[in-house]
Amino acid sequence: MLEISVAGHVRTGEDSVEAIQREAFEEIGIRINPYFLEYLFSYKHQRIMKDIYINNEISDVYIYRYNVDINECSFNDKAVSELKYINWEKVEQMWKNKHKELIDHEEHYEILFCMLRKYIIKNQKI
């Protein structure tokens, strides 16, 4: 299945940038330089799980503007088995077409693609 490669939860005492650095190293074996992280947006969401548990989250989304050689990545915690670069517009089409290999995060992808468009339009004017 295809999934966003670095994601996770902030631990007590961490901020979201520290969590990104930890998760990136745990999941794909790279050291993130916060200088190349650019905050994109945050959003709140809630999901009821198994009718007994309410999952409330605030997701902070960043873009890492740095060329990463995926051949130098490692998969330490078995959360990821392979990496590949896919243009975000192709992922958006996969999501719209309900591609069977893309893990369904309906509410996340809708927000993500909207914000990516805004980010790209904003940064093309610079």
Residues 6+ apart with CB under 8 A from 67: none
**What per-residue string of b and e applies to 35-73 under the rule 16 or more CB within 10 Å gives b?**
eebeeeeeeeeeeeeeeeeeeeeeeebbebeeebeeeeb
pLDDT tens for the chain, 126 residues: list them: 777 767 888 999 999 999 999 999 988 899 999 999 999 888 887 777 777 888 788 888 898 888 888 888 887 767 777 888 888 888 888 888 888 887 766 667 778 888 888 887 777 754
Q: What is the pLDDT of residue 126?
A: 44
Alpha-carbon distance of 28 to 124, in angstroms, equals 30
* Domain assignments of the chain as residue spans, ordered by start: 16-124
